[in-house]
Amino acid sequence: MTPAAARLKEQHERKKNLFLRHLDRVSLSSKLVVCTIAVLLIGVTVISFSIRTLVGNYMLEKIDRQLNQQRELVFNNIDLLAKNDSSGINSYFLQIQYTDGTTDDNGDPLTVTPLLPQLQSGIVSMPVLPTDGDTTGIKLGQIFTAPAVARQVKQVQSESSQSTSPDNSDKSNDSGNSEGSSGSNGSSGSDSSGGSADGQSGSDTQNGTGNSDSSSGSGQSESSGGTIRILGNPSGNVSHSIISAANSPWRILPLQFTGPDGKGGEKVRGVVYIGLSLSDQIDIMNTLTRYCVVVGIAVLLLGGSLSTLIIQHTLTPLKRMEKAAAKIAAGDLSQRIPSAPENTEVGSLAASLNTMLARIESSFHEQEETTNKMKRFVSDASHELRTPLAAIHGYAELYKMQRDMPGALERADESIEHIEKSSQRMTVLVEDLLSLARLDEGRGIDVTGTVRLSSLVTDAVDDLHALDPERAITRQIIMLEPARDLNHPATLHVEEGDWQDVTLPGDASRLRQVVTNIVGNIHRYTPVDSSAEAALGVMPAAIDPKQLAKMPATDASLRRFIDAAEVGSSMQTGYKYAVLRFIDHGPGVPDASRSQIFERFYTADPSRAREKGGTGLGMAIAQSVVKAHHGFICATATDGGGLTLTVVLPIEPMASAVAAQPAGAGLASGKAKDGKSGKGAKNAKGKQKSSWFSGESRGQAAQPPAQPVQPVQPAQVAQVNASGQTNPGQPGQSDRSGQPS
């Protein structure tokens, strides 16, 4: 590419980019309105042009058909038409040009115009035709369009010395008519070849029967039916519309004129031109054009107005989106875009944007909450760790100060004792933090074992009784009370009774830590003389454990589980769950702070006093352990005052449940053949039961497992209690680890 071509291309691209930049600055509504008007303009123009062309061609074909159909009628009735010519009824033009040697007074070939329509003010339209019978450039019998000139009749006089009829061999006719016999009309010889007339003739006059000295100087005369019209240029007072009509072109049909030759034959005598003016058709076309222009303008105005209103109304939601986006950009994440029908593009966009904005707002709030929790966690952890470190540092300094004084050994022992207590407290705190970190990472817990939940709860109740001998502790059975009506939904109902043996898959030491922490809080934060209840039960619920573990620790989540339990009880579908409740009647927790008790380092005492000995990590650890077991834990208010902690743990799918064995079978099957304790019972094939923690699906659970865990019947519990011994083969009898926090 040459440098000049490269520069031209660069200039072209620059102009193109400049145009596109200017175009991009125009608003979308303006572009749509302009495009709509442009489309309407193109449509109106195309329709108007099509209508004009269609009507023009139709009227032209109609005139041509009229000329072909009435040519004989016109030629044979020249006298009648000539008599009516002055009244304006006749609209045909007829001219005969003799080529057989017939001449006028000047010796030129005779040309007679018997039919010449006359307009107002004596204006006539003269088509420009070939002269002297010349047919060069035209084809006989083929209609062509000839231009016309406007002339005005200056004088009309009777024809006394000449006749329009050049030869009266058959009969005389003083009226000037052409041959009227049936054998001499202009219908013969119409198939000769030739072209259309080209409007030649350098003069505006045509040969007539004679010339006279008219005042206009044109000297043109036309004979018609015994009269001679003296024609001249139109005067200045003639209407312009009449002049325009007279200047309209003509459709001319050229025919060959034959007559008798005196010997009984026919001979060619000349050429006959029959024509109809296109002035009426042109006037109709002009009227139609004006009508189309007016209608087109009306359509453009109406269409432009309607399109502007519709486009503005359609783009109104986009403007609202723009305003909402501006407010969101300013920091107001609660703004939402007004909804619209989702079957439209704008409505679908609004719904998608609102969904996106809701997620963004939720993520932003979660991030803020997480950041605040992290800040609070760091602050609380620093505070908790600073206290024992300060105590250790203080007593160490005290020891240095008093070691040279009398009685330093006794005081040193006291300082070392305080240092040991502070280090133990700090050790417990660090271990709790490490446990939470491992639980968050999914480590430090084994949920593939088997746990006797009833034994864990029994041990926890015994611990609480040992800590508070004066406290009245009641064992109760928790059951589902169905809904009575809309105003009385289903609830969890407790009543006194002995617990059945509840066995479920999980980590025994971690679940023991959960119930120990709950019991420790009852001991620590409630009066020693207040009563407490521990309730345990099993019920089905139509909810998946993984979904249950994701629910927040709120009253609404508990209500959702109760509703699922009502469905599961009526339909006998879903999962079997162990429901555990610890109810106290102490001061309780305010409603606003109840969901915060599971946060790390949360304490009911804002001063974080050390008299109670808690670090605020017990309930956080309990929640993490329960969620690791795909369970649910929440705190609710106790009727009459106090706090109720509800723990829900999955046991197995309902489809894998088997019928209970007879009394005593559970104890017999619980003993291992090799005498080892801590293992579940085996079936005849020696395979152990696989729990739903191992990824067993519902469809697979429909088949009986190799080792189903059989619940211990009340009769078995009675036998164990009567004997005063526990079954060494049952799980969950590990050491009671875990101190209340």
Q: Residues 367-380: what's their mean pLDDT?
A: 76
pLDDT tens-digit series, residues 608-629: 454 555 567 788 888 888 988 9
DSSP of 522-541: HHHHS-TTS-EEEEEEEEEE
- 430 shares a domain with 355: yes
- 340 shares a domain with 260: no
Question: Letter for the amino acid at 443?
Answer: R
- 605 shares a domain with 489: yes
d(CA 623, CA 618): 9
Does residue 695 form part of some domain?
A: no
User: What are the two backbone dihedrals, phi and then psi, of residue 666, each rounded to the nearest 5 degrees?
Assistant: -65, -40
- 75 shares a domain with 101: yes
Per-residue pLDDT for 483 more than 50? yes
- 591 shares a domain with 462: yes
Class of residue 738 by CB neighbours under 10 A (exposed 0-12, middle 13-18, buried 19+): buried
Does residue 732 form part of some domain?
A: no
End-to-end CA distance of the chain: 85
- Could you list the beta-strand ranges (E) of 590-722: 632-637, 643-653
Per-residue pLDDT for 14 more than 50? yes
- 525 shares a domain with 388: no
In 3D, which of 655, 654, 460 has the Cα closest to residue 565?
Answer: 654
- Determine the pLDDT at residue 302: 93
What is the extent of the structural domain holding 127? Answer: 24-155+229-331
Does residue 48 form part of some domain?
A: yes
- In 403-507, alpha helices (H): 408-440, 453-467
Contact 648, 633 (CB under 8 A): yes
Domain containing 400 — which CATH number?
1.10.287.130
Number of structural domains (the chain) is 3
pLDDT tens-digit series, residues 674-695: 433 333 333 333 333 333 333 3
- 111 shares a domain with 49: yes
Q: Which residues contact 80 (CB under 8 A, 6 or more apart)?
A: none
Give CA separation, 437 vs 50, 254, 320, 343, 620, in Å.
83, 113, 47, 49, 11
Does residue 171 form part of some domain?
A: no
**123 alpha carbon, distance to own chain's centre:** 71
Does residue 299 form part of some domain?
A: yes
d(CA 320, CA 530): 61
User: What are the two backbone dihedrals, phi and then psi, of residue 257, each rounded to the nearest 5 degrees?
Assistant: -105, 120
Does residue 712 form part of some domain?
A: no
Run of H or E residues at 450: strand 450-452
The residue out of 331, 352, 371 marking a domain boundary is 331
d(CA 179, CA 170): 9
The residue out of 419, 441, 463 marking a domain boundary is 441
Sheet holding 473-481, edge to edge: 491-496, 473-481, 532-541, 575-584, 643-653, 632-637
Kindly report whether the global pTM for this prediction surpasses the value 0.75: no
Does residue 186 form part of some domain?
A: no
d(CA 645, CA 684): 41
- 138 shares a domain with 277: yes
Class of residue 637 by CB neighbours under 10 A (exposed 0-12, middle 13-18, buried 19+): middle
d(CA 672, CA 171): 152
Domain containing 491 — which CATH number?
3.30.565.10
Find the length of the chain: 741
Q: Residues 295-300: what's their mean pLDDT?
A: 92
- 544 shares a domain with 561: yes
Position 225 confidence tier, pLDDT thresholds 50, 70, 90: low
The residue out of 286, 311, 331 marking a domain boundary is 331
In 3D, which of 640, 550, 616, 536 has the Cα closest to residue 578?
Answer: 536
d(CA 118, CA 129): 18
- Determine the pLDDT at residue 614: 59
d(CA 684, CA 214): 144
Position 577 confidence tier, pLDDT thresholds 50, 70, 90: very high
pLDDT tens-digit series, residues 121-162: 888 889 999 988 888 888 999 999 999 998 888 766 555 444
- 484 shares a domain with 417: no
- 327 shares a domain with 391: no
- 500 shares a domain with 427: no
Does residue 354 form part of some domain?
A: yes
User: What are the two backbone dihedrals, phi and then psi, of residue 468, each rounded to the nearest 5 degrees?
Assistant: -125, 85
In terms of average pLDDT, the best of 290-304, 378-392, 412-426, 663-677 is: 290-304
Per-residue pLDDT for 650 more than 50? yes
Run of H or E residues at 371: helix 345-402
